[in-house]
Amino acid sequence: MSNVILKARSVHKTYTMGKAEVRVLRGASLEAQAGEFLVVTGASGSGKSTLLHILGGLDIPDQGAVEFEGHDVFAQSQMARNTYRNRQVGFVFQFYHLLPELNVLENILMPKLVSHSALSWLTGRGQAKLEAMDLLDRVGLRERAGHRPNELSGGERQRVALARALINRPALLLADEPTGNLDEKKGADILDLLSEFNEAGQTIVMVTHDARVAARAHRRIELVGGAIQSKRDGSPSVADSDSQPTHALS
- Residues of the shown chain interacting with ligand ATP in the complex, contacts defined by CB under 6 A: 15, 17, 22, 24, 42, 44-50, 209
Judged by beta carbon, residue 47 or residue 149, the one nearer Mg ion is: 47
Residue 245: CB minimum distance to Mg ion, A: 26
Our CB check for ligand ATP shows the closer of 48 and 220 to be 48
Residue number closest to Mg ion, CB atom? 49
Q: Indicate the helix (H) or strand (E) that contains 91.
A: strand 89-92
State which residue, 49 or 229, has the beta carbon closest to Mg ion. 49
Q: Which does 24 bind (CB under 5 to 8 A by kind): ligand ATP, Mg ion, none?
A: ligand ATP
Q: CA 48, 39, 83: angle at the middle one, nearest 5? A: 70
Are the beta carbons of 178 and 92 closer than 8 angstroms? yes
Minimum distance of ligand ATP from residue 208's CB (angstroms): 8
Name residues whose C-beta falls within 8 Å of residue 190's C-beta, 6 or more positions apart in sequence: 155, 158, 159, 162, 178, 179, 182
Q: What's the min distance (Å) between Cβ of 49 and ligand ATP?
A: 3
Whether 114 and 87 have beta carbons less than 8 Å apart is answered as no
Sheet holding 71-72, edge to edge: 20-33, 4-17, 63-68, 71-72
Residue closer to ligand ATP, measured from CB, 93 or 135: 93
The alpha-helical segments, DSSP class H, found in 24-153 are 48-55, 78-83, 104-115, 118-138
Beta bridge partners of 91: 174
Contact residues: Mg ion, CB under 5 A: 49
The least CB distance from residue 15 to ligand ATP, in Å, is 3
Q: Which CB, 107 or 229, lies closer to ligand ATP?
A: 229
Q: How far is the CB of 13 from ligand ATP (least distance, A)?
A: 8
